[in-house]
Amino acid sequence: MTDATTGMKGGGYYDAHDEYQRDVAASGAGLVTACVDAVPLPGDDATFVIADYGASTGANSIASATTAARAVRARGATQPIAVLHNDLPTNDWNALFHNLAAATDSYLTLDGGAALPLVSAISFFEPAAPRGSVHLGLSSSAAHWLRHQPDVVVPEGFYFSEATGAARAALQHAADTDWRAFLAARAADLAPGGRLLVQMVGTESGPDGEHVTARRLLQAMAAVAHDMVDAGALDAGAVDRYVLAVYARTPAEARAPLDESPLREQFDVVECRTDPVANPYFTTWQHDHDAQAYARAYAAFVRGFTESSLRTNLFEPGALGASADERLDEFFTRLTARFAADPERDRFEDWTLTVVLSRRPAG
Ligand SMILES: C[S@@+](CC[C@H](N)C(=O)[O-])C[C@H]1O[C@@H](n2cnc3c(N)ncnc32)[C@H](O)[C@@H]1O
């Protein structure tokens, strides 16, 4: 089985094109402070531990951890703090340390002494911190990634929402199993009374049907891949077998395992809801009507988080007549042209799912 992703596009690319993820994280900043305020401080001779799961190359992770560290120091001016950035071993860790060294306003520069930076290079589906050590767990735009690349055939598209029958059931099952594993691992990591704030792409049920984050985008990506099949540049079978290994849960799906043993005894649910997050690229286009600039920014954002998945699971097995990387470049050139041709049709829509949990003392 292959991993769902080996990480975001490295070399500074992800951080340069992550305006959307930054807005999602910023939408949770108030919750970060509220979570810190709800956690008992461990005392001046012990360390308050902040962990961020799925930290990537760090720009947003450092910002969220700094918000949290500030809230801790507002309560205890000299409270020792450690910040643990978690991601996969294949993450571009050099970029994270570069960002940390370059940040002029970070948890390293706070009054009351620098917070200790730590990393945890292990899948977040496993315990990722010393047992019972984490006072505040954060995770933004990451816990929607499945653990493994699903082995399903989805001729209808590139996303779980297009899958039908057994393929849809398999994707739902994988998402449920993975979410339970993520939560069980956090139950191991968190200290009694600790809080966990997870923000991920979600699905909202409205009177007019289901709103699935990123659905229009994945429909556009599938259409471009089919154009490349028609042009003889991509294998049709590889396109049928590709899905992006991301699942946008509903609040009910996120909640279900927390109403069952053993997670019911381990966590109290503080929040579980979806909220729309505005699309910064589309908002800019509505003001300046510069379709080319919109398309370039939108495609770069998409490339930042999908490139590793597309290379491993679509272009390496499916590229025809040129290398996987050349076909990947062609794919994004075509996607950019499609976005520019009709900025409204394929716009990214986001209903962020927010889950806040409190770790019970026992269980
Ligand atoms: C879109 S980035 C989000 C980064 C950052 N939290 C932000 O808000 O900008 C998603 C991150 O989740 C990480 N990720 C995906 N699956 C993971 C896993 N099983 N364990 C740890 N990290 C994982 C990816 O490697 C990637 O760095």
Express each pLDDT in 119-143 by its tens digit: 999 999 999 999 999 999 999 999 9
What rounded mean pLDDT belongs to the chain?
A: 94
Q: Compute the average pLDDT of residues 84-108.
A: 95
Report residue 112: phi and psi, to 5°.
Answer: 100, 0
Using CB atoms within 10 A of its CB, is residue 232 exposed (0-12), middle (13-18) or buried (19+)? exposed
Ligand 1 atom at minimal distance to the Cα of residue 147: 19
Calpha distance 40→321 (Å, rounded): 61
Of 204, 192, 67, 40, give the one whose Cα is nearest residue 140: 67
Distance between Cα 46 and ligand 1 center (Å): 29
Two tokens, residue 331: 């794919």
Look at ligand 1, atom 5, and give the residue with the nearest C-alpha: 55
Q: Residue 314: name the closest of 235, 246, 247 by CA.
A: 235
For residue 161, the 8-state DSSP code is G
Q: Give 307-349 pLDDT, tens digit per residue.
A: 999 999 999 999 999 999 999 999 999 999 999 999 999 999 9
User: What is the rounded CA–CA span in Å between residue 159 and residue 221?
Assistant: 10
> Which residue, judged by its Cα, is nearest atom 25 of ligand 1?
7
Query: If you search the block for the tokens 């730590």, which residue do you land on?
Result: 118
pLDDT at 363 over 70: no
27 pLDDT band (50/70/90 cuts)?
confident
Give the total residue count for the chain.
363
* Nearest Cα residue to 181 out of 141, 125, 130, 142: 125
Distance CA 310, CA 326 (A): 12
Dihedral sign for Cα 147, 13, 319, 347, please.
positive
Q: 236 CA distance to ligand 1 centroid (A)? A: 29
Write down the pLDDT at residue 330: 98
Pocket test for ligand 1, best of 1, 57, 145, 177 (most atoms within 8 A of CB): 145
Task: Out of 1, 2, 3, 5, give the residue to mutate to test ligand 1, the one with the largest number of ligand atoms within 8 Å of its CB.
Answer: 5
pTM: 0.95
CA of 169 to the centre of ligand 1 (A): 25
Beta-bridge partner residues of 200? 353
Confidence of residue 149 (pLDDT cuts 50, 70, 90): very high
Kindly list the protein residues whose Cβ atom lies closer than 6 A to any atom of ligand 1: 5, 7-8, 18, 21, 25, 54-56, 60-61, 86-88, 91, 123-125, 140-142, 145, 147, 305
Cβ burial 203-228 (10 Å sphere, 16+ → b, else e): bbeeeeeebbbbbebbbbbbebbeeb
Alpha helices per DSSP H over the chain: 13-16, 19-27, 29-38, 59-75, 93-102, 165-189, 215-230, 236-241, 251-255, 263-266, 280-288, 291-310, 316-318, 324-341
CA of 88 to the centre of ligand 1 (A): 8
